[in-house]
Amino acid sequence: MKTSKKEYSRMVEKASPPSRLVKNCTWAFMTGGSICALGEWLYRFYMNMGFIISDARLMSSITLVGLSALFTGLGWYSRLAKRAGAGTLVPITGFANAVVSPAMEFRSEGLITGVGAKMFVIAGPVIVYGVLASVVYGLILFFVSPMGR
Amino acid sequence: MSRVITLKKPVAITTHSCVGGKKEGKGPLGDYFDMISDDDYFGQDTWEKAETEMLKRSFYTILKKRDIKPQAIQVALGGDLCDQITSTAFCYRDITIPFLGLYGACSAMAESMAIGACLVSGGIVDNALCSASSHFATAERQFRTPLDYGGKRTPTAQWTVTGAAHSLLEREGKGPFITRVMFGRIADLGVKDANNMGAAMAPAAALTLKEFFRETGEKPENYDAIYTGDLGMVGSVLLKELLQKEDIELTNHQDCGLIIFDRESQQVQAGASGCGCSGCVLSAHILPQMEQKKINRILFMATGALLSPTTTMQQESIPGIAHLVEIQTERN
């Protein structure tokens, strides 16, 4: 073949249609924003019900996670995500979807080797590096801030 | 030594069958499948069992069409995309006939037909049953993400066909006939993006076609159509560009990955893919046209991306392969 790898890489780039940036960003903004607005509404709702701030925040997160798990189970979440992209991926609901969808998918391989082993196949790395990052930031904070403050 | 194998006795494709899923049924070829299942589980409880069941339905359809019993099949050749090609193996676990499992990824249909044609033409066997199958769900869960994971598909991604196809090769018959075959060489021009299979496989398709034309002296225009398996929109553009650089103008190219679905309305991004794609398009679209003599001479070349989830994670580039089968309505 007369085409080199380098040359082909340029050809591939040219032939591959780019993602529709404006459309995708608009969808992501609208859906992501709506999910966050729902979270804000839930927070106020729980505050009105008499919960203290920290509990109300926790309750709204739990509700969003629960709704996301339910919608994943009903097959609605992936349908919305097809258009919403990062709008459904970034909020806490995306994390719930990333745990529930493999748990559903791999139930055919059993509760231990299927659901148990595969449940965190997508979310696992986020948890690992999220915890690791918080340890690093914690250490930095410990050393830069005066003791006892 | 020529790599193009001219069959001493052309081999007849006497019967063929194909079974598809719900989405395939709604596509432009929906009416031409032997069977469409609105239930992608095919009445089973796992996706893997569903793919095996789909293959079985295609198997029994071809037997019925040819009016023969399973024992009449001398050898079955076929492959799929599941780990260790279990869909095909499990199909023939229950139908106990001699079986050769092949792995050539999405090139399975052309690979099995090329080997089958050699066996039949050489007088080794009287008949060979070739098959290919893929299922959207089994492929997705193996190569990508869970079905209900909320991800956005990239514009270069291709949609794995839920489909199984068989074709029966025999020494005698009224055709169409396989006259020449060519086993492809692996080509890898460094594409690493598993969401751009067309780009990964186009170099293999170009290599096989280039060598076929060089060795036989044939020209693209000598054929009514040159079909590739599942290059999709991106791979098809690249195939033409690669061949242009070799001074070959491909004017009559068609890709099965752009025939089986309506790309826009069925939202399949760059087109279709999977072993079942070329297999089903061959049985539902190409061979019927040849039987009606609407087209008389074609090249059928299925392409395969020889990657695994492990090699993708290890950042390996994707080797491609393309096997070619020449099919004519006349023996000579």
Quick: pLDDT tens for B128-159.
999 999 999 999 988 888 888 988 889 999 99
Homologous superfamily of B177-328 in CATH?
Stage V sporulation protein AD (3.40.47.40)
Quick: pLDDT tens for B156-182.
999 999 999 999 999 999 989 999 999
Which pLDDT belongs to residue A148? 54
The answer to whether A105 contacts chain B (CB < 8 Å) is yes
Contacts of residue A98 in chain B, CB cutoff 8 Å? 149
Q: Do A78 and B150 touch (CB under 8 A)?
A: yes
Which of B48, B199, B206 is opposite residue A1, by nearest beta carbon? B206
Domain extents in chain B: 4-170, 177-328
Residues B197, B228: Cα–Cα separation, whole Å? 13
**Closest C-alpha to B95, from B66, B149, B59, B128:** B59
Across the range A27-45, mean pLDDT stands at: 95
How close does chain B come to A103, measured CA to CA in Å? 9
Q: Are B53 and B43 in contact (CB under 8 A)?
A: yes
Contacts of residue B255 in chain A, CB cutoff 8 Å? none
The answer to whether A76 contacts chain B (CB < 8 Å) is no
pTM exceeds 0.90 for this model? yes
Q: Is the CATH code 3.40.47.40 the one for domain B4-170?
A: yes
Residues B297, B332: Cα–Cα separation, whole Å? 11
| Chain B nearest-CA residue for A84 | B152
Which pLDDT belongs to residue B24? 97
Across the range A31-41, mean pLDDT stands at: 95
CA distances from B151 to A81, A99, B42, B157 (A): 6, 13, 26, 12
The mean of the pLDDT values for chain A is: 93
Q: Do B190 and A9 touch (CB under 8 A)?
A: yes
The answer to whether A74 contacts chain B (CB < 8 Å) is no
Q: Do B206 and A104 touch (CB under 8 A)?
A: no
Res. A147 pLDDT band, cuts 50 70 90: low
Quick: pLDDT tens for A106-145.
999 999 999 999 999 999 999 999 999 999 999 999 999 8
Ranges of chain B whose pLDDT falls below 50: none
Res. A1 pLDDT band, cuts 50 70 90: confident
